[in-house]
A and B are shown apart, each in its own frame.
Chain A
């Protein structure tokens, strides 16, 4: 069945190789000081400055961004082809870069279909192609390091008919430095879709994906160990060549293959079934034992979050630093480069958590509507909650998560123009941001910010129950954001139509003013925002008796007042900081940065402490690594992304503003 797919950014080869990972943890955990010290980190997450996916490029190549009219007509989003099975038989020698791939493809037409596209490494071309009952011709063009091949089929394959395509491609791989889909220069050689393996492009829906079965035969010089993104069936050798056979009963079209060659040491991760391993270059074992320990912790966490285990074992490939390939995840395989060791153990582990989470969010579950929020956004969300649970459980988790989400908040509010970032649900794939930092902020930050906003509203239990249901219903199935909404509504008992309309299908950043008058047993709270929507959020009320109460409120447009009877006067009333990336709140009292309704010495200290901080380093404005998560936007009273004398001046100008006695 058709699924759709994401421009996985980390290489132009799009696909569902997820990655944002490391980047996230980095900025949040390490702050800008460390980020600036690591020049190898990519501009975006997943390692690619250019965020546009190969498939998005393909859409432009194929039909200048406009979807052709299928004959007979089909609903929007329906691809021309359903892939059923693909078998690869690859011979490759990394030393010479000479490679060939004999491909057997079984597809079924959803309409009268006459073409099929694929990306290959620019050094690889079509050797032969045929299909019984059809004449198949190929044309090629070089695009950004790829050879884009169009197969033309005559007569067209009739709707609902199947075609068996026999294809051979081959040549000398370029695998240019910085080219993500393949690399032969490092100690670990890697080959993904878009190299000797075709990266398939549906002519009607370039972002579409299917569930299909695959088999891979790899023939490589005998000195190499081989790991592929499938289950190993057989290994043979004749002393010159090692032949391995791999099979997957179901994969998504957009992440069909990942293969690595090298001299490997394989470490078994204890306690996980099916067998899960960490694979590293035998000469560079550093961090490998850590990855074993982290994987033993991360995968159970993600399994619990998803509500069910993965259908495959996982090989974690510890990569050396490879330009253009810092990491990703695919079917039963997670890649992560040593680049992120600069983050220190906790940050490195969190990046691995992001990548492992993609084994669910992207590898087995992929929304079929044009959005990435349930792939990259959910992976970013998962990594932060993993770190919170495993390294900060003894802290105030609400406060911890609030600070962590400053990465998203500053990315949305300062680093990019919030007025120009598209909605999470795109009108079409071509409207995805194509540059950095916009793509990363949109796909990873905005997606995870809205998820955190949602989770804070519905609560952890309902959110996780919905995730479980989403995974159960949507693994290897065509689901959309509407399906996700239905699961969250079922779990929470809330009508979330308004929420999704406001934050998924359109965009709002409500500016919320928070005021209150303490009462003997609580507070009268006055809220007002500037958007024509209902804004639901959790208020945190700090009481004079030291207790902290949390209350959900729904704030309609216009002035809104509500009261709380909590047993003691309220001292502070503020939104949960986990909303901050989406709801830009301020005290109703100018200069009050602590939300106690008064301007005093505590506000002065808060503002003074922030003095000199910037939301992001303008010298690095093309990357999310420029964001400083120690910057507190509530202190940026003049809203210019800098905390300085101007903000302090707002505090002093309004100093000693007290509520009426």
Chain B
């Protein structure tokens, strides 16, 4: 796992270092605002930290029984956010994340082999750290038709709700 994280960090740091954007606006009023209320089963984003140069979010599972793995894509403004690293929760022994294009995070976590699945409800699956180029409002949304959660029996968990959020100025 650490290998994956290290890889992603190197990639995303390199990308962040290319930014020529102006310095971020005031941190005090700039926050992550989760999306609207939802019903399980669901995966949502939860804000952990927003600073002048960093946004830390958790990808959180809700009402997911025997979860084996999750694949998702997130879209955001590439001139504001860039992936720095993803750190999976310990249960997920396989993980990968990388920007497939500016502003498009491609990610996945999974158990391996005979992993029996995990019951997830309100637990963070991964922590995402983004470099923040500037404190401008922007949405962070799941690409729903490219995201899926799979149960231990190999079936896709039906009727999933994917809930993103937005960086907003309050």
Contact surface of A with B, Cβ cutoff 8 Å: 598, 600-605, 607-613, 648, 651-652, 655-658, 661
Contact = CB atoms under 8 A, between A and B. Distances in A.
Contacts of A661: 101
Interface residues of B, number: 32
Contacts of B107: 601
B114 interface: yes
A570 B113 CA distance: 30
Interface of B: 4, 7, 68-73, 93-101, 104, 106-114, 146-148, 150, 154
B100 A605 contact: no
Nearest to A657: B100
B114 A612 contact: yes
A100 B100 CA distance: 81
Contacts of B104: 658
Ranked 10 nearest A-B pairs via Cβ? A601-B108, A601-B71, A605-B69, A656-B98, A608-B110, A656-B100, A604-B108, A608-B94, A656-B106, A612-B113
Contacts of A602: 71, 108, 148
Given A652-B7, A657-B100, A605 B114 contact: no
A655 B100 CA distance: 8
A609 B4 contact: no
Contacts of B98: 655-656
Most buried by B among A600, A656, A658: A656
Contacts, number: 86
Given A602-B148, A658-B106, A611 B94 contact: yes
Given A602-B71, A652-B4, A652-B96, A658 B109 contact: no
B71 A600 contact: yes
Contacts of B100: 598, 600, 656-658
Given A605-B70, A609-B68, A656-B97, 19 more contacts: A598-B100, A600-B71, A600-B108, A600-B146, A601-B72, A601-B110, A602-B71, A602-B108, A602-B148, A604-B108, A604-B110, A605-B94, A608-B94, A608-B112, A648-B94, A655-B96, A655-B106, A656-B96, A656-B99
A611 B94 CA distance: 10
Nearest to A653: B7
Contacts of A609: 68-69, 110-113, 154
B133 to A, nearest CB: 20
A604 B71 contact: yes
A552 to B, nearest CB: 29
Given A609-B113, A656-B106, A601 B70 contact: yes
Nearest to B83: A656
Most-contacted residue by chain B among A598, A600, A610, A658 (CB, 10 A): A600
Contacts of A598: 100
A601 B104 CA distance: 13
A255 to B, nearest CB: 44
Contacts of B154: 609
B112 A611 contact: yes
Contacts of B150: 605
Contacts of A612: 112-114
A601 B109 contact: yes
Given A612-B113, A655-B106, A658-B106, A605 B96 contact: no
A601 B113 contact: no
Contact of B69 (A608, A656, A657, A658): A608
A648 B101 CA distance: 22
Residue of B108, B148, B154 most packed against chain A (CB within 10 A): B108
9 contacts: A600-B106, A601-B96, A605-B70, A609-B111, A612-B113, A613-B113, A648-B112, A658-B101, A658-B106
Nearest to A613: B113
A629 B39 CA distance: 38
A189 B114 CA distance: 46
A152 to B, nearest CB: 65
A632 to B, nearest CB: 11
B61 to A, nearest CB: 14
Nearest to B114: A612
A654 B2 CA distance: 17
Contacts of A600: 71, 73, 100, 106, 108, 146
Nearest to A658: B100
Contacts of A656: 96-100, 106
Most chain B CB within a 10 A radius of its CB, from A598, A601, A609? A601
Contacts of B94: 604-605, 607-608, 611, 648
Nearest to B111: A608
Nearest to B69: A605
Contacts of B95: 604
Nearest to A659: B100
Contacts of B72: 601
Contacts of B96: 601, 604, 651-652, 655-656
Given A608-B94, A609-B113, A601 B4 contact: no
A602 B106 CA distance: 10
A601 B93 contact: no
B154 to A, nearest CB: 7
A603 B96 CA distance: 10
Name the residue among B94, B114, B147, B148 with the largest chain A CB count within 10 angstroms: B94
A655 B95 CA distance: 10
Contacts of B73: 600-601
B106 to A, nearest CB: 4
B109 to A, nearest CB: 7
Nearest to A600: B106
Nearest to B152: A609
Most buried by B among A603, A608, A655: A608
Given A651-B96, A656-B99, A658-B100, A605 B108 contact: yes
Contacts of A603: 108
A651 B70 CA distance: 15
A601 B69 contact: yes
Chain B CB within 10 Å, residue with most, of A603, A604, A612 = A604
A658 B73 CA distance: 12
A651 B95 CA distance: 10
Contacts of B109: 601, 604
Contacts of B71: 600-602, 604-605
Nearest to B72: A601
A301 to B, nearest CB: 29
Contacts of A655: 96-98, 106, 108
